[in-house]
Structure 1
């Protein structure tokens, strides 16, 4: 049995201020090695020397005998980037980075959001464009209907014996529906009266406005002044008319035609 040895350590503490230095001897028992020095050195000499490159930085919990062998990353058949790992049924699936699904999912979500925003923007632009086009087309149609009403009113009150056939033809060309039929039936009588009375009437528009109108139909009121000369009034006399015109747009030519004309007020 190894012999326990006692060693004595002497600790000298500095003197306190104002007093002489004091020396105190403290005896401590040092633990003896598990065996003799010769025995420890011998045991170390008998253990095999381990290659430092083969030491893995792993901590094994449990019985080492129950730990399965880990695959060598450098050995044949090891799982590498782009390789496949066998699943439960033996089917291989491409090895994936742990962050790949989350990153690809975010990219798909962002792409989907951009598609939705783009579709919404295009839909909004389409609706706005359609409304703008409809409003612009309607306004243009209303202005064209009002211009046609002004011209038809002037044509109707501007008739001369010297150009009666041309004047009546101009009125007929701008008419449609019931108004055209009625005027055509009485056109011969009107011509005779204009020629016999040597009528010369010239009109001008004072005011004109739409009562209602869209791209197909419109109702207009036109105020017209005219100077009428005939055999009874060779110097002419002024006349004032208020005319209501119902107009429709011809589908083929797009021209506005008078479907109904009547004096009002």
Structure 2
């Protein structure tokens, strides 16, 4: 029985790799070693001359010798592939860090939010501009109508309030509030009106009872005015009441903005 030292371990190179997907097997061959009297050269010569069968499925190394003395060699299948080792090797700092999805999408969401706020702000400003313009137009139109109504009341009072003692001033006041056809017509008959007021010693004072806007905008208006007056003359020295309904057409002067009478007529 050979001793432990007399046994030998021989590694046969050139083994073929195992088939893909199948575990790698080891082929262990135990050969008895000749007695110490045999020369080592003869043993090696015999080993070289003996044919060795190619293992069908072996790993990178084929081991011969005593199985008890052969340490388990790592199987290639147990080792991670080269590519996997390359991935797992090295410090974690060498591998690029994955960017969180929230951070990658953050700038895009911020830009979308800013764009939405800009659109909403533009819409709000546009709506405010439209509303502001309408409010301005409505307010300006209402102010113009009120101005036309006040001018019509004053013009009606001026027209029926004439006194022989202040005839020239009274007639001038009527002319100053007129324009267009009405001014031309009143100016042509102003001398006759003055003569009649002075000769009959007329003293008439009027007050407005009611007034209403028939139509009107910022440039033109039609107003109805109800006026009561007390008229004194040579035939009625104590005075007699008179009631008038006057329709006035007015236009707004572009330069001064004042409302002027273009037409005056008694109605009803």
User: Same fold by TM-score, threshold 0.5 exceeded?
Assistant: yes
* Residue 137 of structure 2 corresponds to residue 134 of structure 1: yes
Alpha-carbon distance in 2 for matches of 1:127, 1:155: 42
In structure 2, what is the equivalent of residue 230 of structure 1? 233
- Deviation, structure 1 residue 67: 8.4
Bigger proportion of residues as helix: 2
Going from structure 1 to structure 2, the CA distance change for 1:231 and 1:69 (only over 3 Å counts) comes to same
* Residue 222 of structure 2 corresponds to residue 191 of structure 1: no
Deviations 1:61-96 (A, max 9, x none): xxx3x8897797899xx8989xxxxxxxxxxxxxx8
Alignment partner of 1:233: what SS?
coil
In structure 1, what is the equivalent of residue 157 of structure 2? 154
Deviations 1:121-142 (A, max 9, x none): 1111111111111111111111
- Deviation, structure 1 residue 38: 3.6
- Deviation, structure 1 residue 184: 0.7
Alpha-carbon distance in 2 for matches of 1:160, 1:101: 92
Alignment partner of 2:148: what SS?
helix
RMSD: 3.1
- Deviation, structure 1 residue 227: 0.5
TM-score by length of 1: 0.67
In structure 2, what is the equivalent of residue 120 of structure 1? 123
In structure 2, what is the equivalent of residue 87 of structure 1? none
Rg: which structure is higher? Answer: 2
In structure 2, what is the equivalent of residue 259 of structure 1? 262
Alpha-carbon distance in 2 for matches of 1:59, 1:238: 125
Alpha-carbon distance in 1 for matches of 2:221, 2:90: 91
* Gap regions ≥5 residues in structure 1: 3-34, 48-57, 82-95
Alignment partner of 1:215: what SS?
coil
Aligned length: 200
* Gap regions ≥5 residues in structure 2: 1-27, 30-65
* Residue 214 of structure 2 corresponds to residue 214 of structure 1: no
Alpha-carbon distance in 1 for matches of 2:258, 2:126: 34
Alignment partner of 2:211: what SS?
strand
In structure 2, what is the equivalent of residue 102 of structure 1? 105
Going from structure 1 to structure 2, the CA distance change for 1:59 and 1:113 (only over 3 Å counts) comes to farther
TM-score by length of 2: 0.67
